Structure 1
């Protein structure tokens, strides 16, 4: 049994090392993409690109939080997941409000810039999503990272469709529609993470209280 315990501990250590390495790579990619995409989005007048850039920034912060709590007890990882879920939800609400306000402006974004940046972002997010796919079924903290990556890749596909729509219609409505979709994805993803993290916190508290109840029942 001791040998089995040692083997399991070693396997977990290797898995945690891979998890940390994947997070560092994802953090670097997302930070670099935020810097490039926010400039391109503002230059092109694209609400969808700006929303995607802010998503990159939020993901970089989320990966940094995940690195900070990696290896900690479940309750701390769940609390970090709650924080990230709240941040994702807030981002979605922000994009929703700003997109509605932008709809009143009537400026047509530059479709060519949207397309080029959208392709670069899709390659970056697709690579991150594939790298993190193996960790998608972990606790709320790990699942939140996977949900961020999945939403990013879907958002990039939507940006490319928006660019085609802007070319075809000559209006900003495809760009605004994609921004609204990205807001919806963020809101839904944030709610999913918060619900799972709250459940894990309740479970963790129950596990911590159980030994005390058992000892009390024995008169100790």
Structure 2
């Protein structure tokens, strides 16, 4: 590339690769959010709704990450901080839904839970594969990786929950797993917030 030194060209190429990956995973997660939230509402499953909220949070995360690919460390750290807060908010929303179900118990439709959790697992596995090579590049991409890694655990948990609902003919497995997913989301949010805060302090 004319007019740039080797380091500048390397950075440009890296940022372009990051943009391409983020656009792809953004499309996948935005689509899956619409699909899974509809399935979660239809099946009355808190754990499947937690899955859909995870996709929604990821879609916002990827969109924000695209905005700061070429920005400095401080800008990336601020966006990562916002991502951590989004993850935490998603966990709190699902926690409220779980508390509501304790007073208004329902038995989810396990067939819908199982089928759509597997569909989501396939989609998120593709995203995780695409993001693997970027996971250690900067705080922006590492926070994206953190979000995506959680998705696999969420999908597997929801699938296993569908089996437990079928075996017990009860909504309790759904409530229990949704509670565990809330803890996972809150822990992930905390990790991203702490990492972003550390980067912000170092950039001052």
TM-score range, shorter chain: over 0.9
Asked whether the equivalents of residues 115 and 159 of structure 1 are also in contact (C-alpha less than 8 Å), the reply is yes
Instruction: Give TM-score, length-normalised by structure 1.
Output: 0.88
1:6 Cα offset (Å): 2.2
Where in structure 2 are the equivalents of 1:81-160 lying within 5 Å?
A: 81-160=80-159
Asked whether the equivalents of residues 48 and 176 of structure 1 are also in contact (C-alpha less than 8 Å), the reply is yes
Residue equivalent to 1:193: 192
Deviations 1:129-155 (CA, angstroms, capped at 9, x unpaired): 111011112332211100110111110
Equivalent position SS for 2:25? helix
1:174 Cα offset (Å): 1.2
Asked whether the equivalents of residues 78 and 141 of structure 1 are also in contact (C-alpha less than 8 Å), the reply is yes
Residue equivalent to 1:208: none
Asked whether the equivalents of residues 140 and 193 of structure 1 are also in contact (C-alpha less than 8 Å), the reply is no
Provide the rounded CA distance (Å) in 2 between the counterparts of 1:98 and 1:46: 10
Provide the rounded CA distance (Å) in 2 between the counterparts of 1:139 and 1:95: 30
Residue equivalent to 1:57: 56
Runs (4+) off by over 2 Å:
5-9
Provide the rounded CA distance (Å) in 1 between the counterparts of 2:101 and 2:150: 22
Where in structure 2 are the equivalents of 1:58-77 lying within 5 Å?
A: 58-77=57-76
Residue equivalent to 2:45: 46
Provide the rounded CA distance (Å) in 2 between the counterparts of 1:132 and 1:177: 30
1:8 Cα offset (Å): 2.5
Equivalent position SS for 1:41? helix
Computed over aligned residues only, the root mean square deviation of the Cα atoms, in angstroms, reads: 1.2
Asked whether the equivalents of residues 48 and 175 of structure 1 are also in contact (C-alpha less than 8 Å), the reply is yes
Q: How many residues align?
A: 201
Rg comparison, structure with higher value: 1
Where in structure 2 are the equivalents of 1:14-33 lying within 5 Å?
A: 14-33=13-32
Residue equivalent to 1:8: 7
1:7 Cα offset (Å): 2.2
Equivalent position SS for 1:33? helix
Equivalent position SS for 1:103? helix
Provide the rounded CA distance (Å) in 2 between the counterparts of 1:174 and 1:133: 32
Provide the rounded CA distance (Å) in 1 between the counterparts of 2:139 and 2:182: 21
Residue equivalent to 1:173: 172
Structure 1, 80-89 or 7-16: larger mean CA deviation: 7-16
Structure 1, 170-179 or 117-126: larger mean CA deviation: 170-179
Equivalent position SS for 1:108? coil
